[in-house]
């Protein structure tokens, strides 16, 4: 891994519509606003920020993170609740994985209560709107720094 941590922030389907899609649920921040929040939260770390509406592309990006990321923050959106392929890809990672959601899935429809991403995640941040990303990036970087500071076992 590089001396400067690299955090991949991956976003799933329909998040390109942030700010206009169901603002009562997801808020008024746009995806560009979320990217700026992540870059500020990274405090000098490199942020690779991506969004896709395609499951296979998201899986490809998770696999890429195996080689180039120090940590992964992922809001898989609807794929959180449906994608075993994404779970399988996430399970190949040895870096911290922070699941992130704008809303609180547990306070929503029952089908959103199942998260395949959670089965591979180090931790979850949800329900704080765009601020969830700030918390998730900071938590991911804290885990990276804690690992670097701990003695080798």
- Give the residue numbers marked as catalytic: 26, 101
Q: Using alpha carbons, select from 95, 100, 10, 114 the residue that is nearest to residue 60.
A: 10
Q: Which residues of 6-41 are buried (b: 16+ CB within 10 A; e: fewer)?
A: bbbbbbbbebeebbeeeeeebbebbbeebbbbbbeb
Tally Cβ neighbours within 10 Å of residue 101.
26
């Amino acid at each position: 891994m590089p001396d400067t941590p690299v955090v991949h922030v991956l976003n799933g389907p329909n998040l390109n519509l942030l700010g206009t899609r169901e603002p009562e649920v997801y808020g008024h921040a746009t995806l560009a606003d979320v990217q700026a929040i992540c870059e500020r939260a990274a405090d000098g770390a490199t942020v690779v920020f991506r969004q896709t509406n395609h499951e296979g592309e998201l899986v490809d990006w998770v696999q890429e993170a195996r080689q180039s990321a120090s940590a992964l923050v992922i809001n898989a959106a609807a794929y959180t609740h449906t994608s075993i392929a994404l779970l399988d890809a996430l399970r190949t990672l040895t870096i911290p994985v922070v699941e992130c959601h704008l809303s609180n899935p547990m306070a929503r429809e029952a089908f959103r209560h199942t998260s395949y991403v959670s089965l591979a995640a180090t931790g979850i941040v949800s329900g704080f709107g765009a601020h969830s990303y700030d918390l998730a990036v900071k938590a991911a970087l804290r885990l990276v720094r804690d690992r670097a500071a701990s003695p080798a076992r």
